[in-house]
Amino acid sequence: MSFDKQSLTKLYYSIGEVADMFNVNTSLIRFWEKEFGIIQPKKNRKGNRLFTPKDIETFNKIYHLVKTEGYTIEGAKKALKVKSTSSTTVANSTPSPTKKSPEKEDLIQKLEGIRERLLRLKE
């Protein structure tokens, strides 16, 4: 991926430019726009989408969650919602105990099983 925050010097980027930044098809950009309500590009008179650097940073987060971390679309939506709510909390507030999602619990159980097998092999 050739995305770099410092290289975002323009006010608006076309869908083709955004797709090139992430080395994906424009259809994927349109799909993510539809699925993730936080992306709302401006449209010119012709109806062409114009994305801001902030939109591109959001695409970067989505790309990282879906393509790198392996999240599903629903999982990425939840992760972005958690990140946005946690970034708006006051720094001095006492953190509430985190509730483990079923996905995390499954992963933890799998990892613990692998750990147990590795420890048995080590003996």
Q: Kindly list the averaged pLDDT for each block of 10 residues, start to end, along the chain of length 123.
A: 70 95 94 92 94 94 92 90 64 47 78 84 81
Extents of the domains making up the chain:
5-90
**pTM of the predicted structure, to 2 decimals:** 0.63
User: CA gyration radius for the chain?
Assistant: 19
The pLDDT score that the predictor gives to residue 99 is: 55
The pLDDT score that the predictor gives to residue 4 is: 65
Q: What is the CATH number of domain 5-90?
A: 1.10.1660.10
Its sign, for the CA torsion 57, 61, 62, 66, is positive
C-alpha 10/C-alpha 43 separation (Å) is 16
The pLDDT score that the predictor gives to residue 119 is: 84
List the one residue out of 86, 76, 87 whose CA is nearest residue 37: 76
The pLDDT score that the predictor gives to residue 107 is: 82
